[in-house]
């Protein structure tokens, strides 16, 4: 039996904010969207990269703390915008309201071509690798290269099915996986200090000098581990009592992520000297092995598998709402703005997102996918934050249920950090930023064509 065809955009009623999707996410689910979308494989894979670039314990922890401070500044800034415009699309809406349709289109275009599909592919690849590890197979062997890609593609399709069938199903998966992975990381920290044979002298033993250029480059890697902090804004149109719950979810979820990331890295350094952290591709497994023996390696593989599946579900829940908002604004094919009459989800946007993710994961490796999207999204985070200044000047009459804490210092810090991060990446590794900016600029002729031939997009 076939489900009914999605209804046209005009058929679904809107609420007082102009939203057509049902508001069914409470505060805890919104926090779970942020935490679940953020904590994926980064905290398991990134510490070794950071320790290699910053081989001194306190500066290494400083990178994680600084990255957390920057994203917290971003969350505090977006809290004002989220309460002001609680709509599907989040950052897309904030950029549009602050700077107009062209920059908003470029954000959606970049999400379509690079950011969302790359993120889904990278997360699904890590899930597939650790799913195979949990079954006793080594995904690094050449004969398993194909199965990793196919398993990753299958994971994307499964999470897309949850998202298609209703936001409550995705929320259920996110709530369960978020609770499981946060509890597992917290347990690792508690066991490290309660039962681990660690040494506080590890925090004073340096592995070498710290170069300013590598410190900045390591900050980019840390921000990849933190990426997801703004994703809850994309489902702003489905959060209940959004003027209160969206700002709270942004701040509470971000603080929860920062806290667990710092605690876990402190636990790693307590159990292992930084020289060993540098050599460990999965430092959590080595730490767990010290605590509970060989069984710890298998347990961590299962935790990573659960963690990345939850992150994949979060990304599949949030990403399609960007394309849904674009289409509803006339900046993408109108049919993508359809709401499914039975499931009340942006079904066509979900199918499009899943298809792009599958294509990317079948054609590209994890490293290619992960390096692509982080630099492409930060210019738009900066634009969204800058919208706070623009809207306060141009539209002071708007009722602001929430105002940015520490304005104007907090958004200025976030904007300056974004410029420093992008500038450092451009100097240290110019190829990746050049590709990211090339994709963004390729949206200019696409936007011109869209405006020139609007009926073709009907």
* pLDDT higher than 50, residue 412: yes
The Cα–Cα gap between 23 and 42 comes to 31
* pLDDT higher than 90, residue 63: yes
* pLDDT higher than 80, residue 95: yes
Q: What tens digit of pLDDT does each residue of 422-432 get?
A: 777 777 677 77
- Confirm whether 158 is domain-assigned: yes
* pLDDT higher than 90, residue 434: no
CA nearest neighbour of 309 among 145, 157, 137, 189: 157
Domain that holds residue 220: 25-453
* pLDDT higher than 60, residue 198: yes
Neighbours of 253 (CB within 10 A): 26
The CATH number for 329's domain is 1.20.1740.10
* pLDDT higher than 70, residue 2: no
Residue 160 or 43, more confident: 160
Q: Which two tokens stand for residue 450?
A: 């869209």
- Confirm whether 398 is domain-assigned: yes
Res 11: pLDDT: 56
Q: What tens digit of pLDDT does each residue of 202-226 get?
A: 998 876 777 777 887 788 788 878 9
* pLDDT higher than 80, residue 365: no
CA nearest neighbour of 126 among 245, 45, 208: 45
- Confirm whether 5 is domain-assigned: no
- Confirm whether 311 is domain-assigned: yes
* CA distances, 50 to each of 44, 186, 210, 215 (Å): 12, 21, 11, 8
Res 456: pLDDT: 55
Res 454: pLDDT: 67
* pLDDT higher than 70, residue 172: yes
- Confirm whether 15 is domain-assigned: no
Q: What tens digit of pLDDT does each residue of 97-132 get?
A: 999 999 999 999 999 888 888 888 888 988 998 888
Q: Provide the b/e sequence for 230-246 (b: ≥16 CB within 10 Å).
A: bbbbbbbbbbeebbebb
Res 212: pLDDT: 75
**CA geometry: angle 397, 79, 433, nearest 5 deg:** 110
The Cα–Cα gap between 248 and 11 comes to 32
Looking up tokens 């289109």 gives: 105
Average pLDDT over residues 420-442: 77
Q: Which residues contact 150 (CB under 8 A, 6 or more apart)?
A: 362
Q: What tens digit of pLDDT does each residue of 243-292 get?
A: 999 999 999 999 999 999 999 999 999 999 999 998 887 788 888 888 88
* pLDDT higher than 50, residue 1: no
Structural domain tally of the chain?
Answer: 1
Q: What tens digit of pLDDT does each residue of 319-361 get?
A: 999 999 999 998 999 899 999 999 999 999 999 999 999 988 8
Res 146: pLDDT: 82
* pLDDT higher than 70, residue 7: no
* pLDDT higher than 80, residue 372: no
Mean pLDDT (the chain, rounded): 88
- Confirm whether 193 is domain-assigned: yes
- Confirm whether 10 is domain-assigned: no
Average pLDDT over residues 404-410: 95
- Confirm whether 19 is domain-assigned: no
């Amino acid at each position: 039996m076939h489900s009914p065809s999605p209804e046209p955009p005009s058929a679904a009623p809107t609420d007082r904010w102009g939203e057509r999707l049902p508001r069914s996410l409470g505060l805890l689910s919104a926090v779970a969207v942020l935490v679940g979308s953020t904590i994926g494989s980064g905290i398991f894979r990134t510490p070794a990269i950071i320790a290699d670039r910053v081989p001194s314990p306190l500066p290494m922890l400083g990178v994680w703390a600084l990255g957390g401070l920057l994203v917290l500044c971003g969350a505090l800034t977006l809290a004002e915008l989220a309460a002001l415009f609680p709509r599907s699309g989040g950052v897309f809406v904030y950029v549009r309201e602050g700077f107009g349709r062209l920059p908003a289109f470029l954000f959606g275009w970049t999400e379509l071509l690079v950011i969302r599909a790359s993120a889904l592919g990278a997360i699904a690849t890590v899930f597939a690798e650790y799913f195979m590890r949990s079954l006793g197979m080594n995904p690094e062997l050449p004969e398993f290269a194909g199965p990793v890609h196919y398993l990753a593609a299958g994971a994307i399709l499964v999470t897309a099915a949850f998202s298609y069938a209703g936001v409550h199903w995705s929320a259920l998966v996110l709530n369960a996986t978020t609770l499981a992975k946060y509890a597992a990381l917290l347990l690792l920290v508690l066991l490290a200090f309660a039962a681990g044979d660690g040494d506080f002298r590890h925090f004073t033993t340096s592995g070498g000098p710290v170069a300013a250029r590598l410190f900045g480059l390591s900050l980019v890697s840390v921000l990849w581990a933190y990426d997801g902090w703004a994703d809850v804004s994309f489902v702003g149109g489905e959060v209940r009592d959004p003027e209160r719950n969206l700002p709270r979810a942004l701040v509470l979820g971000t603080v929860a992520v920062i806290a667990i990331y710092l605690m876990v890295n402190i636990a790693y350094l307590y159990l292992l000297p930084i020289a060993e952290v540098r050599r460990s591709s999965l430092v959590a497994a080595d730490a767990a092995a010290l605590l509970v023996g060989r069984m710890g390696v298998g347990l961590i593989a299962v935790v990573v598998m659960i963690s990345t599946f939850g992150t994949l579900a979060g990304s599949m829940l949030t990403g399609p709402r960007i394309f849904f908002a674009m289409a509803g604004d006339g900046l993408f094919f109108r049919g993508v703005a359809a709401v499914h009459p039975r499931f009340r989800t942006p079904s066509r946007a979900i199918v499009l997102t899943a298809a792009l993710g599958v294509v990317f994961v079948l054609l590209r490796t994890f490293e290619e996918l992960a390096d692509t999207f982080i630099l492409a999204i930060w210019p738009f985070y900066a634009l969204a934050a800058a919208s706070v200044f623009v809207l306060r000047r141009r539209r002071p009459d708007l009722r602001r249920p929430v105002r940015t804490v520490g304005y104007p210092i907090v958004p200025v810090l976030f904007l300056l950090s974004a410029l420093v991060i992008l500038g450092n990446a451009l100097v240290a590794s110019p190829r990746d930023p050049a590709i990211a900016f090339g994709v963004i600029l390729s949206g200019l002729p696409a936007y011109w064509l869209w405006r020139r031939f609007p009926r073709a997009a009907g």
